[in-house]
Structure 1
C-alpha cells in the first residue's frame, strides 16, 4: 500500500468547469497550462504541483482519490474547497 504520492491539481468552484477542463485534457491540453489559467489554488501558478505528500495529509475526499485512482489519469473530486481535477504522477 502506497504511503506517499505526488500529484497535480486544478481547483475550481463549479463542476461544469472541472468537466470542461477534463475534456480539454483528454484532447491533449497540458495540465500545467490549464492549472495556471484556471486554478484558484495558490499551487496553480506552479502548474498545480502539490509536490509529494503523505497519506492523510490532505482532506479525506482528496486523499481517498489520490491513493486509489489510476496514475496519470485525470480524476475529479469535490471537497469543501471546491472541485479538484487531480493527476497523480506517482505513488510510493
Structure 2
C-alpha cells in the first residue's frame, strides 16, 4: 500500500469552473498553465505542484482521491476549501 504520493492540483470556488478546467485538460491544455491561471491556492504559482506528501497529510477527501484515484487522470473533488482538480503523478 502506498505511503506517499505526488500531485498537482487546481483549487477553485465553483464546481462549474472546475468542470470547465477538466474539459480544457481533455482538449490538450497544460495542467501547469491552467493552475497558474485559475488556482486560488498558493501552489498555483508553481503550476499546482504539491510535491510529495505522506498519506494522511491532506484533508480526508483529498487524501482519499490521491491514494485511491487513477494516476495521471484529472479527478474532481470538493473539500472545505473548494473544488479541486487533482492530477496524481505517482505513489510510493
TM class, shorter-length: over 0.9
Please give the alpha-carbon distance, in whole angstroms, between the structure 2 residues aligned to 1:39 and 1:73: 18
SS of residue matched to 1:67: helix
CA deviation string 1:47-71 (max 9, x = no partner): 0000000000000010001000110
Q: Cα RMSD over matched residues? A: 0.3
Per the alignment, residue 3 of structure 2 pairs with 3
Which portions of structure 1, spanning 4 or more consecutive aligned residues, are displaced by more than 2 angstroms?
Answer: none
Alignment gaps of 5+ in structure 2: none
CA deviation string 1:56-92 (max 9, x = no partner): 0000010001000110000000000000000000000
Per the alignment, residue 36 of structure 1 pairs with 36
CA deviation string 1:18-42 (max 9, x = no partner): 0000000000000000000000000
Task: Say if 2:25 is the partner of 1:25.
Answer: yes
Alignment gaps of 5+ in structure 1: none
Number of aligned positions between the proteins: 92
Q: Give the TM-score taking structure 2 as reference length.
A: 0.99
